């Protein structure tokens, strides 16, 4: 008998997660530690506490406790915008005429427009708890900066955002959302920091990069009394906070009596993918269940599929700790025609280790194919997806079409991380037929690899 | 014992409305009929069918049946983006330190960003069912055009949108959303219609108005084989479709064992307010329950609070039927500093009659006060509201503050019709301290009234 599965499954408040799941606890090969960029020794908690909030440092270094309780204040805040729905994409299935069942976990129904709020609110909470005055951060496309602005407004913290200059200019509305939440937004590189002035002197016409904005934000955090730096992806702590996505998803699947075979997510720094897959990955690591995990990245910024697994700088200014990760080199910047996010040169250490251990697959996709999927999805499922999220949509559709060929009734889950309301410049390019693809040559990549630190 | 009311209440699929509620059936004084602009005789179904889809004409004229079954296809589509949540604004209550309980029904969690999709999908459905090729419409701020584009994409209908020129230029991203859904978007007034050419000849520098865009859309619909015109507000049929908002809200309140005392909504053409209040108004009309209803309109476009209750043209080109409504005259255009929507010169005939019968109150608010409420709400409740919706927020906050003074524990419900992601130009003005207010003088209004038709 066919089960009657609703389009959308929401958890009740009492079904919501009470603890985050720390996938590192179940990993046999732990992610490599952060290293001091001078001495190449593992960073101590004390060293990290100059940059990050104390309790976040503990979470960053904790690779043994599988569950970390979620503070009550965060559970309360979650109730304002969570749970996010697990959606059965009936209309997409029908349009594709596939025997596959397609589900997506939709994280876009909050003003930040993405899953980024899940970690922003936690980092702001610990900053407030520590008695800080404010935090600094960088933002590229602007989702993280928006999320952090919202979180800081909620806790009454000051929020200084360094926004990659090209985004600052092309996305004035993102900037205004952050200002509406009380944040100050500075285009990066700027004249307000040493590292910004240095980069501007060396590259006068630069439109900025995430790595450069990170350097500026860290400099201001370390040099200002009562401030710390917060980062929206890549770090272990961020994947921990994002595990709320996967935990909710897992409970929702249990509620409807289903189980995914394939789990797909887009991967920039890895926070959404890491959060979505972590409890499922835990089952795989413990031998309880098997799943296929697929990380999807842009062909123009292919850190997993074409990068090196090596220690690298997290930022352009080389002021941050070194992280072992799949990387294209901290000097790598995607070509100018790259429209969406997912432009970070490296990948979360946790995901890098899982990928290196062959517990997860990765594919890269070209952006015109991504926007084709985005448009198709928008028209069929009614949600205008973020370009980032559309990478996952592309591969979910491809997998569903494979099922159509083979007749397999697989259950496909993907993370729909956010909405594309602030990405209409990219959509306009696509609508006008002016979007192009670019795949870096081996020579392009070699330049990035040449900047890897000598270890 | 304090009840444990969740932040958000969602209905299950089987709790969703199966029929729309037609408040006219319970009204003692029915809304006045549409009149032929030439003969001043009531429009017949046949006459209306030249402009509107057949089944929509039936709904337009039906003031006797209290319930109209929702077609199964619409019930299926609803599942994609409904139910919308009924949210308890715990954080706002706490911030205001009020004994009042504040609830809002949030209609912004779909790509059109507002409640407009509720009627767009129904009108597109009947157009498809009638075998039409496409529909035409106008849009101002762009929410309705976006909603209709989504609906037409779903049913495979062509969609021609006339967008008020000033919005077309100031909101290029709205335009791109519509294009992504396959709609064609023409700035109005345009050279593509007789009425557009006439208006351009008379007012060469005009940036357009809703009334003018309506005239163009109607001309194209009537003159193109297989096309009809659809309208996103004002009409009885639209209020009928929007009753899904109120029906869901009422069921959700019953589910949590609560009942609102005051129900507040912003009012432009009246579709959201009419939809939200209708089942509650039905109880009041039948003497089963009492509620206070408050319509909130901009001080710069005060059709209820300062308009005349009279027959008027619905459009600038005077091609549409005459409607009896509270109106400022079809020539009235809000001053240039008016930032948000709610700029239509008239008000739904149904709401006009209810207001005239003193079954509903109305207040007008100035836009700087509206944006103060919007910013406060955004920071506390985490949702960036549309300027339109923020009119209701303003009055909800004011009512909650009155409760603080009197100590009354009233339950306040307001309609949060949508999100403000495409209204950041207005927010920027507010953030920069450059937003101003304008209240039309009696002389300004007299000019509009002078254009009322002689009956």
Per-residue pLDDT at A1: 45
- Residue B3 clears pLDDT 80, i.e. is over it: no
Q: Side-chain half-sphere of A333: how many Cα atoms within 13 Å?
A: 15
Cβ within 8 Å, pair B424-A173: yes
Taking CB atoms and an 8 Å cutoff, what residues of chain A touch B179?
Answer: 427-428, 431
Please write the tens of the pLDDT for every residue from A328-337: 999 888 888 8
Nearest chain B alpha carbon to A117: B382
At residue B2 the predicted structure's pLDDT band, cuts being 50, 70 and 90, is low
Torsion of CA B369, B373, B376, B379, to 10 degrees: -130
* DSSP-based three-state secondary structure for B86: strand
CA dihedral for B26, B323, B453, B232, sign (positive or negative): positive
Of A110, A384, A431, the CB nearest to B382: A110
Nearest to B149 by CA among A427, A171, A143: A427
- Give the model's confidence band at B266: pLDDT under 50 very low, under 70 low, under 90 confident, else very high: very high
Residue A344's nearest CA partner among A408, A293, A270 is: A270
ipTM surpasses cut 0.90 = yes
- The domain locations on chain B are 80-113+237-450
B79 vs A contacts (CB less than 8 Å)? 6-8
pLDDT band per the 50, 70, 90 thresholds, residue B207: confident
Cβ-Cβ contacts under 8 Å, B154 against chain A: 379-380, 382
Is B105:B88 a contact under the CB 8 Å cutoff? Answer: no
**From B373, which residue of chain A is nearest by alpha-carbon distance?**
A180
Does the beta-carbon distance from A384 to B173 stay under 8 Å?
A: no
Residue environment code for A306-345, b if the CB has 16+ CB neighbours within 10 A, otherwise e: bbbbbbbbbbbbbbbbbbbbbbbbbbbbbeeebbbbbbbb
Look at residue A74 in the predicted model and tell me its pLDDT. 97
Give the count of beta carbons closer than 10 Å to the beta carbon of residue B201. 9
Mean local confidence (pLDDT), B350-355: 98
Whole-model pTM over 0.90? yes
**For the domain A80-113+237-450, what is the CATH code?**
3.40.50.1100
C-alpha B149/C-alpha B124 separation (Å) is 9
Of all residues in chain A, what percent carry a pLDDT higher than 90?
Answer: 88
Q: What is the DSSP letter of B321?
A: P
Q: Which residues pair with A2 in a beta bridge?
A: none
Mean pLDDT calculated for residue range B203-223: 91
Is the pLDDT at B415 greater than 90, yes or no?
yes
Average pLDDT, chain B: 95
> Using the beta-carbon criterion (under 8 Å), do A422 and B419 form an inter-chain contact?
no
pLDDT in tens, B121-150: 999 999 999 999 999 999 988 999 999 999
The string of pLDDT tens digits covering residues A283-326 is 999 999 999 999 999 999 999 999 999 999 998 888 889 999 99
Q: How far is B331 from chain A (nearest CA, A)?
A: 32
Question: Which strand (E) or helix (H) includes residue A349?
Answer: helix A349-356
Q: What is the pLDDT of residues B51-81, one digit of tens each?
A: 899 999 999 999 999 999 999 999 999 999 9
Candidates B122, B126, B137; CA nearest to B20 is: B122
| Residue A10: closest C-alpha in chain B | B10
Tell me the DSSP string of B4-65. ---SEE---GGGS-SEEE-GGGG-SSPPPPPB-TTT-PBPPHHHHHTTS-HHHHHHHH--S-
Q: Measuring CA to CA, which residue among A182, A181, A155 is closest to residue A76? A: A155
Q: What is the pLDDT of residues B424-453, one digit of tens each?
A: 999 999 999 999 999 999 999 999 999 999
What is the bridge-based pairing of β-strands B19-21 and B67-69?
A: antiparallel
- Angle at the Cα of A352 from the Cα atoms of A348 and A354, rounded to 5 degrees: 120
Q: Give the torsion sign (CA, B336, B159, B346, B363).
A: negative
């Amino acid at each position: 008998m066919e089960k009657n599965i609703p389009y959308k499954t929401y958890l009740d408040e009492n079904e919501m997660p009470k603890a985050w799941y720390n996938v590192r606890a179940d990993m046999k090969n732990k992610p490599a530690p952060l290293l001091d960029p001078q001495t190449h020794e593992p960073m101590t908690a004390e060293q990290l506490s100059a940059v990050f909030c104390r309790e976040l440092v503990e979470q960053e270094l904790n690779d043994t406790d599988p569950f970390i309780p979620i503070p009550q204040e965060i559970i309360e805040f979650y109730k304002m915008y969570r749970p996010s729905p697990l959606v059965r994409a009936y209309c997409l299935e029908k349009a594709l005429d596939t025997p596959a069942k397609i589900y997506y976990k939709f994280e876009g129904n909050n003003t930040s427009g993405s899953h980024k709020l899940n970690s922003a609110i936690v980092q702001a909470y610990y900053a407030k708890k520590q008695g800080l005055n404010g935090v600094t951060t960088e933002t590229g496309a602007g989702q993280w900066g928006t999320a952090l602005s919202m979180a800081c407004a909620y806790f009454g913290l000051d929020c200084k955002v360094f926004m990659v200059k090209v985004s600052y200019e092309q996305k004035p509305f993102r900037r205004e959302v952050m200002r509406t939440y009380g944040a100050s937004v500075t285009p990066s590189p700027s004249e307000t920091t040493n590292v910004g002035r240095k980069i501007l002197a060396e590259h006068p016409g630069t439109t900025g990069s995430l790595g450069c904005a990170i350097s500026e934000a860290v400099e201001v955090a370390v040099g200002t009394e009562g401030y710390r730096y917060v980062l929206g992806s890549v770090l272990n702590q961020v994947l921990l906070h994002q595990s709320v996505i996967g935990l909710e998803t897992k409970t929702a699947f249990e509620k409807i009596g289903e189980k995914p075979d394939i789990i797909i997510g887009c991967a920039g720094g890895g926070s959404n993918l890491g959060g979505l897959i972590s409890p499922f990955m835990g089952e795989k690591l413990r031998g309880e269940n098997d799943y296929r995990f697929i990380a999807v990245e842009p062909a123009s910024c292919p850190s997993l599929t074409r990068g090196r697994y090596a220690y690298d700088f997290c930022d352009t200014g080389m002021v941050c700790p070194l992280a072992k990760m799949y990387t294209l080199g901290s000097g790598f910047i995607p070509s100018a025609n790259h429209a969406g996010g997912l432009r970070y040169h490296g990948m979360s250490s946790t995901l890098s280790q899982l990928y290196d251990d062959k517990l997860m697959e990765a594919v890269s996709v070209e952006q015109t194919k991504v926007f084709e999927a985005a448009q198709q999805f928008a028209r069929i499922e009614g949600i205008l997806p973020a370009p980032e999220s559309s990478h996952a949509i592309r591969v979910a559709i491809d997998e569903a079409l494979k099922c159509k060929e083979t007749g397999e009734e697989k259950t496909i889950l993907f993370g729909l991380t956010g909405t594309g309301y602030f990405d209409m410049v990219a959509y306009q390019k696509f609508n006008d037929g002016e979007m192009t693809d670019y795949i870096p040559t081996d020579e392009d990549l070699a330049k990035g690899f040449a900047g890897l630190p000598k270890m």
